[in-house]
Chain A
Amino acid sequence: MGVRVQREDFDIGAEVSRLAAGRTDIGAVVTFTGVVRDENSGGPIAGMTLEHYPGMTEQELARVEADAGKRWPLQASLIVHRVGALRPGDNIVLVVTASAHRQAAFAAAEFLMDYLKTRAPFWKKEFGPDGKEHWVEARDSDGRAAERWEDASARRS
């Protein structure tokens, strides 16, 4: 279990190896990697700056991770989120979940991404090839993606 906020890139293979080192109870590892695209809402993107709220970011990520651990039987999980200057093709975020079986690992990885997108205090400022900057607007679809997990827990209880 762990969360990290960092400027530098991450190595997916190294992160998974470290997470699973010395363990033989893990039957499934799911990784999700978010990558900077070269376009957004139809406009070309030359790069972005990711700002965050130091302290609260780590707390929110840890809270989301703990929530996932209560919902699914996870052997291990990891969230790494980058901040600072990023360019198209750069990694932004890594989520790793490990469980005895794939269903829990898949579901937990999706849950972690949906929740961190609506709760973790990060803000993206993009700029185009012309250098013009704009703040990325939150998407309603991200809010709905997180809400469906609320519906799922309401149905269960």
Chain B
Amino acid sequence: MSVKILYFAWVREKTGKAEEVVDLPPGVKTVADVVAWLKTRGPEYAEAFARPGVVRAALDQTHVQPGASIAGAREIAFFPPVTGG
């Protein structure tokens, strides 16, 4: 499955990219699976997702939990807890 992945704030700085299009292997079904797969792609990803549970995710611009299914998603975003306002 081909999907666009976006990174924001320090997650973007650690991965070294703002966005990329990736082909996810068939076994990757949930947001947590995507994170586990990304961490195998290189030390910069392992570093970005090193602290478990800190990085938040959105599927097609809606907040989701790690267990959320990515079926049908066009855009997956990873970012730190928000600090606006």
What separation, in Å, do the CA atoms of A26 and B78 have in the docked complex?
41
**For this complex, into which size category does the number of interface residues on chain A fall?**
20 to 34
Number of A-B contacts (CB under 8 A): 69
Contacts of B77 in A (CB 8 A): 53, 56, 121
Chain A, range 65-87, C-beta contacts under 8 Å to B: 81
What separation, in Å, do the CA atoms of A56 and B81 have in the docked complex?
14
Contacts of A124 in B (CB 8 A): 83-84
- 6 further A-B contacts with Cβ under 8 Å, apart from A53-B6, A121-B82, are A56-B61, A56-B62, A93-B84, A123-B79, A123-B80, A137-B83
B-side residues, CB < 8 A to A, are: 6, 8-10, 58, 61-63, 77, 79-85
A-side residues, CB < 8 A to B, are: 34, 50-53, 55-56, 59-60, 81, 92-93, 113, 116-125, 135-138, 142
